[in-house]
Amino acid sequence: MLLEEGKIQSAIIIDNEFHGHLVAEELTPPGRRQQHTFRDFVVDLGVVDAQTREEWLKYGVDFRFQKPSNWLNIFFNFLPWILFIGLWLFILRQMQGGPKGAFSFGKSKAKLISEDKAKITFKDVAGAEEAKQELQEIIEFLKDPRKFQRLGGRIPKGVLLVGPPGTGKTHMARAVAGEADVPFFLMSGSDFVEMFVGVGASRVRDLFEQGKNHAPCIIFIDEIDAVGRHRGAGIGGGHDEREQTLNQLLVEMDGFESKEGLILIAATNRPDVLDPALLRPGRFDRQVVVDRPDVRGREGILKVHTRNTPLSDDVNLQVLARGTPGLAGADLANLVNEAALLASRNNRDRVTMNDFEDAKDKVMMGAERRSLVISDKEKRLTSYHEIGHALVAKLIPESDPLHKVTIIPRGRALGVTHTLPIDERHTYPQSYCEAVLAYALGGRIAEKLVFGEITTGGQQDYRMATNLARQMVCDWGMSPKLGPIAYGQQNDEIFLGREMAQRRDHSDRVAEMIDEEIKNFVLKAESRAEQLLSDNIDKVHILAKALLEFETLDDVQLNQLLEGKTLEKPVEPAKQPEESKEDREDQTSEQHTSEPEKQPSDD
């Protein structure tokens, strides 16, 4: 129709397609949903013969033929192959990639700490001189292996660092690498095991392969008990992913020679659960104990952590070290940090001794909660309760010296009575244990003598006294009736991998005797505390009145009061906001800090 009306101006014929161009815009034929104007159009043709060409010429159409371009067809024909090859190359690259690759879960996750980075040396380690001496041979071997090889000596393949949490086992291992000036591979025991079977063993192989490529070097596995627990524990037998990882670790430790310059150092605070095959000579040849520091060690640790902290002239680190028994290196680092934060909060340029004392109280007794509102009756009851503890501790020579007593709520306790031993305690005499029992029950007796009834505030005291009395009877042989016999045999709990559980190994008659002896120890201590406080009830009232006024008393102030002296101006308590009834009802428990529950050494 358009052709016969002479409306087609020109056309291009491409592969039987008529691409026409009109003289002017035309409206689309009627009957369609939407009508619009157009000027270009495409029509499929059948066979273009001579008659068709003559007809186009007849109506004045300027047409020409154009060969079709085949590149688009070629592209679509090869597109599936291109996508397939690209996907395959991507997968190969991921499999050969770094630790973040999709198929690299069998690669080791060890962090390489190069010797070029900021080094940690033995100058940064304090409080573990014996451990440093044990590790000095490792350093000398890595620096000069021939010194030991010429005499036929063999350096230990593995060193196991054993000690409580926070004593600096990881820090010690990094110091060894820094002293020896060698690369240091750091990996946690839990990094070996994943959800895929065989990944742990693969990572062990890759870790030792990396170590051999960087030899001489140190491989450090932190918390090795996560992968080195005793085999065959629990359900599943030996077909366990963790056990397969341990087997591969044992094989790798047998497979490398010490002359390669590869030293394996591991750390754990649970050596009792490790597999015996891991501890035999030839694997972990040497065990180094990194224990909590003594008073000289604590002083050295404080010096290390205060090197970059401006201190006031009144700071005495030796006195501070004597007042922090039982604290590990991490605790002391936290103490120094808390003191620095307190000084910054008060806009001081230097950290004072008072900042350290406040930080020590916060670390050892808990943070103050001055915003907690306590009624006058509860505050008076708490004051007598704490003075009961404090006065019993003062009157019994075998007890630890009193450090501080306070009725300011700390942590979850309404009041705290804190004692500190003068010297390090490694064993406990029976007289000391009996003194601790009386000290624990002093608060209950003071409540009973003054108010005629007891409260729930001594819940933790009773639990501590009962546990201590049970240890005296069942573990330490302090009962004259039962003698030096240990009751409550320890056995292995299969589901936890040599966790200690108690099972009964005595008759009902002996069980009754044990209960009776525990009761006798506790009641004897209660009678002793009651006798002491009854004979000194006037001192109880004097001290409790002063504690209500001052809120916190130290040992020096208590001695002044007991000598009949008066104290200077009390500290004005901060005004406290209103407290809801629900918050007040939550404060029914109390904590006391002392030494009775820790185990003595087997001397």
Residues labelled catalytic: 386
pLDDT digits over 168-205, tens only? Answer: 888 888 888 888 888 888 888 887 776 666 677 888 88
pLDDT at position 586: 41
pLDDT at position 258: 56
Among residues 450, 353, 459, 419, the alpha carbon closest in space to that of 554 is found at 419
Complete domains list, the chain, with CATH: 8-68 (3.30.720), 111-232+239-289 (3.40.50.300), 295-363 (1.10.8.60), 376-489+506-563 (1.20.58.760)
- Is residue 586 helix, strand or coil? helix
pLDDT at position 579: 42
Cα 530 to Cα 470, 526, 540, 542, 568, distances in angstroms? 22, 6, 12, 17, 31
Packing angle between helix 459-474 and helix 508-535, nearest 10 degrees? 130
Could you give the CA distance from residue 273 to residue 251 in angstroms, rounded to a whole number? 20
Residues in the chain where the model's pLDDT stays below 70: 1-7, 23, 25-38, 46, 59, 68-70, 72, 94-118, 194-198, 232-240, 255-260, 489-504, 569-603
**C-alpha angle 95/99/101, rounded to 5°?**
40
Could you give the CA distance from residue 229 to residue 233 in angstroms, rounded to a whole number? 8
One-letter amino acid of 67: K
Residue 115 CA to its chain's centroid (Å): 26
Six token digits for residue 277: 């095959």
pTM: 0.69
